A = this chain, B = another copy of it.
Amino acid sequence: MTERIQQIESEFRQFVKKIEDYKQALAVLAWDSRTGAPKKGIVQRSEVIGTLSSEVFALSTAEEMASFLGELREESVYNNLSEITQKTVDECHKDFERNVKIPKDEFKEYVMLQSQSEALWEEAKEKADFEMFRPNLEKLVAFKKKFVGYWGYEKHPYNTLLDDYEPGVFVETIDKVFGELRDQLIPLVKGVTESTHQPKTDFLFKTFPKENQKALNLDILTEIGYDFEAGRLDETVHPFAIGINPNDVRVTTKYNENDFRVAIFGTIHECGHALYEQNISQDLIGTPLCDGTSMGIHESQSLFWEKFVGQNVGFWERNYDLMKKHSSGQFDNVSLEDFYFAINESKPSLIRIESDELTYCLHIIIRYELEKALMEDKITVKELPQAWNDKMEEYLGIRPSHDGEGVLQDVHWSFGAFGYFPSYALGYIYAAQIKEAMLADLPYFDELVRNGDFAPIREWLTTHVHQYGKMKQPGEIIKNITGGGIDSKPLVRYLEEKYRRLYKF
């Protein structure tokens, strides 16, 4: 019996490894397409990506997969598998169920709708014309509702959508933590807006030559502990991090010569994602577990480094001179205090991706509330623009003048990504919980940052988060670290303390 189990376990792992090898090839193709693949090659490249993706889909839903899962999920067999194989079986089974439950024709129609909608959204956004995009958005919402019907749901249809990005996290929890967060943030944002103590920021926008920024970014990445032997830094219009496997995790950045913050904080952010993927256990290579456990936990890692390290005052006590050395004199008459206040400027703004850490979560909460209302049929697509603008006014005190800077600003819905947005705010919440828990083990955290001694911080994150990949769900990771559940209080404490101090209110 045991021998038979070992044999089928090994065959299954071989089968899964093949899928994962294809996914690695797809990741390299994706990286290449985004970093400088020749323009004229686009059509051929989509063909190749299409062929490989179809193969991944075919293998993931093959008879062979079904038969592996059938055999391996039998209790007497399952209990004799290694833990990694067990979780691999779970993951493959989840994926299998998702993929086979949608009728092929409908899925094909949906994929075609997605690809039309992205281009249409772009045009509608530019023209600030919601009506132009509305019919497609209505179809996308209808498809998602139908899919939820096929997949089934517990308690709330939105839970099934959340499961794609934040497995094990449900509407009930999010309602609670987002509600508390919103109620605490609104007065804080008001306090900042009304404060008479505002930062000087003119020096942020002076010319910082690209080559000098590059040198600075390389220095900072190296100091933080990004492993350049297992990665590389390139330049793209939309920065990203991509993990091909833990030994090859690449980051990109973009340089704005009139605003150095774009590159430096963007690079640190992507580096946070990359450190996660570089430190996933090598034992998970060749399984679908060799990846971040959720969008939210992934975002917690990028935000941890961007906010709690990169915007830590100690970080700049250490690196302000390095920054000055690389720049062309723009900070010569700027005190560290003024610099620090400037890079932490907060004010309500219309565009999510340009907003700051204090206001960001409110942008997300608006999207979450609207998505949920759509799924509950409490609002129609037609009513979205008005509802959006009202919430912006209520939460942030500003109102978009047109839908291009309102409901049309984000690409996500155009490819049907409902349930994705909450992860961004969960990332902030997790990051603050992780930071508080870390302080118990590393009480001299600020000192470590000030000394550039990042190894203990990286090791702590590896031990408690990174190494597991998808072996633990987000809720389990938070539970293990904090002893409790998802909680917005640490984030509120951090923001409250920081912004009251900065803006003196």
Which residues of A does B touch, CB under 8 Å?
17-18, 21-22, 24-25, 28-29, 32, 36-41, 43-45, 47-48, 51-52, 227-232, 244-245, 247-248, 250, 285-286
What residue of chain B has the Cβ atom nearest to residue A230's Cβ? B40
Q: Is B43 touching A247 in the complex (CB atoms < 8 A)?
A: yes
Q: Is B25 touching A48 in the complex (CB atoms < 8 A)?
A: yes
Would A44 and B248 be within 8 Å (CB), given that A25-B29, A28-B29, A32-B28 are in contact? Answer: yes
Would A38 and B228 be within 8 Å (CB), given that A28-B29, A29-B28 are in contact? Answer: yes
Question: Which of chain B's residues have a CB closer than 8 A to the CB of A40?
Answer: 227, 229-230, 247-248
Question: Which of chain B's residues have a CB closer than 8 A to the CB of A44?
Answer: 24, 244-245, 247-248, 285
* Minimum Cβ distance to chain B for residue A271 (Å): 14
Q: Is A230 touching B38 in the complex (CB atoms < 8 A)?
A: yes
Question: Which of chain B's residues have a CB closer than 8 A to the CB of A43?
Answer: 247
What residue of chain B has the Cβ atom nearest to residue A50's Cβ? B21
Q: Is B21 touching A231 in the complex (CB atoms < 8 A)?
A: no
Question: Which of chain B's residues have a CB closer than 8 A to the CB of A25?
Answer: 25, 29, 48, 52
* Minimum Cβ distance to chain B for residue A320 (Å): 30
Question: Which of chain B's residues have a CB closer than 8 A to the CB of A52?
Answer: 21-22, 25
Would A244 and B41 be within 8 Å (CB), given that A21-B47, A21-B48, A47-B21 are in contact? Answer: yes
Taken together as a complex, chains A and B put the C-alpha atoms of A230 and B42 apart, in Å, by 10
Question: Which of chain B's residues have a CB closer than 8 A to the CB of A286?
Answer: 47
Question: Which of chain B's residues have a CB closer than 8 A to the CB of A24?
Answer: 44, 48
Q: Is A247 touching B18 in the complex (CB atoms < 8 A)?
A: no
What residue of chain B has the Cβ atom nearest to residue A21's Cβ? B51
Question: Which of chain B's residues have a CB closer than 8 A to the CB of A39?
Answer: 229-230
Taken together as a complex, chains A and B put the C-alpha atoms of A258 and B153 apart, in Å, by 69
* Minimum Cβ distance to chain B for residue A243 (Å): 11
Taken together as a complex, chains A and B put the C-alpha atoms of A36 and B244 apart, in Å, by 14
The listed residue with most B CB atoms (<10 A of its CB), out of A29, A230, A248, is A248
Taken together as a complex, chains A and B put the C-alpha atoms of A350 and B175 apart, in Å, by 77
Taken together as a complex, chains A and B put the C-alpha atoms of A15 and B43 apart, in Å, by 19
Q: Is A232 touching B48 in the complex (CB atoms < 8 A)?
A: no
What are 28 A-B contacts defined by CB distance under 8 Å?
A18-B51, A21-B51, A22-B51, A22-B52, A24-B44, A25-B25, A25-B48, A25-B52, A28-B28, A28-B29, A28-B32, A28-B48, A32-B32, A36-B232, A37-B232, A37-B248, A38-B229, A38-B231, A38-B250, A40-B227, A40-B230, A40-B247, A41-B244, A41-B245, A41-B247, A41-B248, A43-B247, A44-B247
* Minimum Cβ distance to chain B for residue A55 (Å): 8
* Minimum Cβ distance to chain B for residue A150 (Å): 29
What residue of chain B has the Cβ atom nearest to residue A227's Cβ? B40
Question: Which of chain B's residues have a CB closer than 8 A to the CB of A48?
Answer: 21, 24-25, 28
Q: Is B21 touching A248 in the complex (CB atoms < 8 A)?
A: no
Taken together as a complex, chains A and B put the C-alpha atoms of A17 and B21 apart, in Å, by 20
Which 8 pairs of residues, A with B, have the shortest CB-CB distance? Answer: A41-B248, A21-B51, A40-B247, A40-B230, A41-B247, A44-B245, A21-B48, A39-B229
Q: Is A248 touching B45 in the complex (CB atoms < 8 A)?
A: yes
The listed residue with most B CB atoms (<10 A of its CB), out of A38, A39, A47, is A38
Taken together as a complex, chains A and B put the C-alpha atoms of A52 and B22 apart, in Å, by 8
Question: Which of chain B's residues have a CB closer than 8 A to the CB of A245?
Answer: 41, 44
Question: Which of chain B's residues have a CB closer than 8 A to the CB of A231?
Answer: 38
Known: A38-B247, A40-B248, A45-B248. 12 other contacts (CB 8 A): A17-B47, A17-B51, A21-B51, A22-B52, A24-B44, A25-B25, A38-B232, A41-B230, A41-B248, A44-B244, A44-B245, A47-B286
* Minimum Cβ distance to chain B for residue A65 (Å): 17
